[in-house]
Structure 1
Amino acid sequence: MAFSNFLPSIVLPALLSAVGVQAHGIASALVIDSTFYNGYNPSYQWVNPPPTVVGWSVPDDLQNTFISPDKFSTPDMVCHLGAKPAGAAAPVRGGDVIEVQWTPWPASHKGPVLDYLAKCDGPCETADKTKLKFFKIGESGWVDQASDLWAANVLTNNNNSWLVRIPEDIAPGNYVLRHEIIALHAAANPNGAQSYPFCYNLAIDSTGTANPDGIPATALYKASDPGIKFDLFSHPTAYVIPGPALYSGALPVSQTKPAAITATATGIYAYTVAAHARAAHVATAAAAASTTLVSRPKAASPILPRATPAL
């Protein structure tokens, strides 16, 4: 195997450690209907050629940083620093549940989790991110005041994963899923909130006809919004989730812990699809088939390339 096509796992961890990419976590992959889809990984910058994935690339984010409120009006707010469209799209049906997988997220970084969709004018692989208009399909903020449990903590507790359901009534087509955590641990300070948006291309198959209105990501929030300028440690009694109102056709989903993932001797990950991984409208036979043991490419670690069989 040519070195240009594969960097040994002993090299990539050292490279990524040097740039500190595990500091906060990244949205690294999707699981849809028992199929695993790689997102973007900073290690791909040392792989030639880089793999084609469904996650938008973030080549400028070597320090795994964030978008601060003074940058909310810039194109970086769309899908992160210098984000570029993904080269592929993950197929999904209206009503299906998508599992967004993260690398470890620190418990101290409390805050809301938000999900948006934007329909592309043509393939999302060639979309102009500044022209995408997003509508909100999911939001969760302060889940339990008594225990100070936030949506980001739920994500951490659930094997660093988050579930989002695709609305059933939207028209079929190519969409960008914008998935975001806003960390509030420094949000009492001016421009202290930290936005971590990540994007994925979706090809949505649906019988719906709705084309919801959206707004550019650069207009989603303002630095003065009560859900952005927020003192997490001042004994607040309420929290206002930032951004536009939730789309009327948005579908709720229970944030339950996904099935455990175990590595096999061959370096392939095997898992059993949890009951929540399919929408309720899926036919019984198809749902039964989805609970069988399947394999997916190894990508749970943010610092390792996809497993390759020994030559």
Structure 2
Amino acid sequence: MISLLASLLGLLAHHTAAHGGAVNYTVDDIWYPGYDTYGPTSQATAPWLPQRPWISNNPIFETTNTSLSCNVPGTSIPAQSYIPILPGQSISAVYYSWVHTVGPMIVWLTPCGTSCSTLDPSTALWFKIAERGLLSGDILEGMWFQRDFVKWDGSPSLWTEKLPEGLKAGKYLVRHEIVSLHSANRPQFYAECANLEVGGTGDRVPGEEYLVGIPGVWSMDQPEINIDVYDPVVGNQTTYKIPGPPVWI
């Protein structure tokens, strides 16, 4: 694999205009490439690509959109490679030029069975392995993890989370999702998915209470999603509960 530093520096200039998205991944300082939205379309079926293609930097607005699971057209085009990882290890998703600051960030997993190539993520059952929300202050001006995530100097933002200890070995999709709430009553969803090959001898799996469909987990009936952060009654609040199931750890 290409060295982490060289890879990040090489991609930086290429992605500075991006609206936002996970452009590659790292596990133990080993770099794994993501789909290049400015690159050739042939990469979508390349044997080295672990990330499902996402051809648009634009957000998804509809909570019922089937592309909500793995972006456009990641629901229908699988990746061919897998990122090897063990339970308890951390994976970092690398972003460039992320500019939004309000809203939760969540990492999801779903098992693929024998192959992620045959999995339709819009009909799969997902579980949370991490979620990050409001860290301090109020909803409008406070310190969200998403605000802290932004790197205004142009350096890459790394979102690092750990896989659950004892996770059952097998093939999984990992889904990094950012929900931006800066537009009143018009949430923006950004998500990318990549293939994982989880090793080890673990046998733990989440119970049914942790499992949800995507789409299905979000609804405009949820006040945390259908939200106007500029309304003082809302914006001055100092707590924000991320909707959906609890995190499975």
TM-score band by shorter chain is: 0.7 to 0.9
Residue 3 of structure 2 is matched in structure 1 by none
State the SS of the aligned residue for 2:147.
Answer: helix
Which residue of structure 2 aligns with residue 162 of structure 1?
159
- Distance change in 2, residues 1:129/1:103 (3 Å): same
Cα displacement (A) at 1:206: 2.9
CA separation of 1:48/1:82 partners in 2, compared to 1, >3 Å: closer, same or farther? closer
Between the aligned partners of 1:227 and 1:143, the Cα distance in structure 2 is 16
- Map residues 41-80 of structure 1 onto 2, 5 A cutoff: 41-45=36-40, 51=46, 52-59=48-55, 61=56, 64-68=57-61, 71-80=62-71
Any unmatched runs of 5+ in structure 2?
1-9
Report how far residue 74 of structure 1 moved: 2.6
CA-atom RMSD, angstroms?
Answer: 2.4
Structure 1: gaps spanning 5 or more residues: 1-8, 251-311
Partner amino acid, structure 1, of 2:49 = V
Q: Which amino acid aligns with 1:132?
A: A
Q: Counterparts in 2 of 1:198-209, with a 5 A limit? A: 198-209=192-203
CA distance in 2, matches of 1:242, 1:121: 27
Q: Which residue of 2 aligns with 1:197?
A: 191
Mapped pair 1:117 → 2:113: no
Residue of structure 2 equivalent to 1:35: 30
**The 10-residue stretch of structure 1 (171-180 or 199-208) with the greater mean CA deviation from structure 2:** 199-208
Q: Is the 8 A contact 1:88 1:125 kept in 2?
A: no
Q: What is the letter of the counterpart of residue 115 of structure 1?
A: V
Q: Provide the rounded CA distance (Å) in 2 between the counterparts of 1:66 and 1:94.
A: 31
What are the within-5 Å matches in structure 2 for residues 126-145 of structure 1? 126-145=118-137
Q: Percent identity?
A: 26
Q: In the alignment, residue 28 of structure 1 is paired with which amino acid?
A: V
Aligned CA distance change for structure 1 residues 148 and 49 (closer, same or farther; 3 Å): closer
The answer to whether the 8 A contact 1:169-1:210 is kept is: yes
Say whether the 8 Å CA contact 1:168–1:206 is kept in structure 2: no
Normalised TM-score (structure 2): 0.81
Partner secondary structure for residue 153 of structure 1: helix
**Contact conserved, 1:125 with 1:201, CA < 8 A, in 2?**
no
Q: Which amino acid aligns with 1:116?
A: W
SS at match of 1:136: strand
Written as runs of structure 1 = structure 2, the 5 A alignment for 1:263-302 is none
Q: How does 1:239-254 map to 2 (within 5 A)?
A: 239-247=240-248, 250=249
AA in 2 matched with 1:57: P
Q: CA deviation at 1:156?
A: 1.6
Q: Residue by residue, what CA displacement relative to the aligned partner does 1:155-179 show, whole Å, maximum 9, x if unpaired?
A: 2248411111000122100000010
Q: CA deviation at 1:216?
A: 1.5
8 Å CA contact 1:101–1:161 kept in 2: the answer is yes
Query: Equivalents in 2 of 1:193, 1:49: separation in Å?
Result: 28
Instruction: Tell me which of 151, 164, 175 is aligned to 2:172.
Output: 175
Amino acid at match of 1:53: L
1:32-63 deviation per Cα after TM superposition (whole angstroms, max 9, x unaligned): 0121001111123355786431111023x2xx
Q: What is the deviation of 1:231? A: 2.0
Q: Deviations over 1:74-101 (max 9, x none)?
A: 3201111221221111000000011110
CA contact (8 A) 2:87 2:166 kept: yes
Count of aligned pairs between the two proteins: 223
Distance 1:174 1:48, change over 3 A: closer
Q: Distance in 1 between matches of 2:205 and 2:242?
A: 24
CA distance in 2, matches of 1:42, 1:49: 10
Q: Give SS of 1:125's match.
A: helix
